[in-house]
Amino acid sequence: MVTWERPAADLVVGTFAGHEIDFLRTETMAMQDVWCDRLRQAPTAFPFGSTVQCMATLSPPEDVWLLLHLHAFIGSDEPEWVWCWHELDLWEMLGKSSAVLLELLPETGDGQLEIRTIWQLNAVITTLKARGVVLAWFAENLDDPQMRQHHGELNQWMLATLDELVRVSSEPEPLPQ
């Protein structure tokens, strides 16, 4: 289990077991690949006049991971055009957030993740939430009961890790900018 501490006003430290670091690194890199592929393949340029253009998608993605993130971060009750308008911004934000998490994670073995700014904290929370969205879906929708249970346990771990990070990082006061 991950433990979070706040040894200084400008520092939150998470201590991870090696298998937890490996899991986060592997899963975060897999998510990055999905987001980056969509960013490369989906945009369409919409010209505004002769020099300005806006990038958006023409239709929502078919990939389950991407749809789950659109539901979680933009809202499942939003019409398709809202998803298409905001989708690329979401993938860019999730890609940047996950890059921060990967940069902060120790390379191998047991280790500590050190968060020093509110920006790093937001990136870590966003990335963990994104992975939790997928784990929760797998825990409910896989055919194999053992795999559903496994993903459910991973999701509970992710939620507990997130809850503790938010609790520790907000006491006694939020991290500095």
CA distance 135 to 156: 9
Please report, in tens digits, the pLDDT of each residue of the chain (177 residues total): 789 999 988 899 999 999 999 999 999 999 999 999 998 888 888 788 788 888 888 899 999 999 999 999 999 999 999 999 899 999 999 999 999 999 999 987 789 999 999 899 999 999 999 999 999 999 999 999 999 999 999 999 999 999 999 999 887 776 776
User: What residues does 8 pair with on adjacent strands?
Assistant: 11
Q: Where are the domains of the chain?
A: 3-169
pTM: 0.88
What does each C-alpha distance from 2 to 10, 54, 110, 123, 164 come to in angstroms? 20, 42, 11, 18, 9
Q: Closest by alpha carbon to 101, among 73, 74, 129?
A: 129
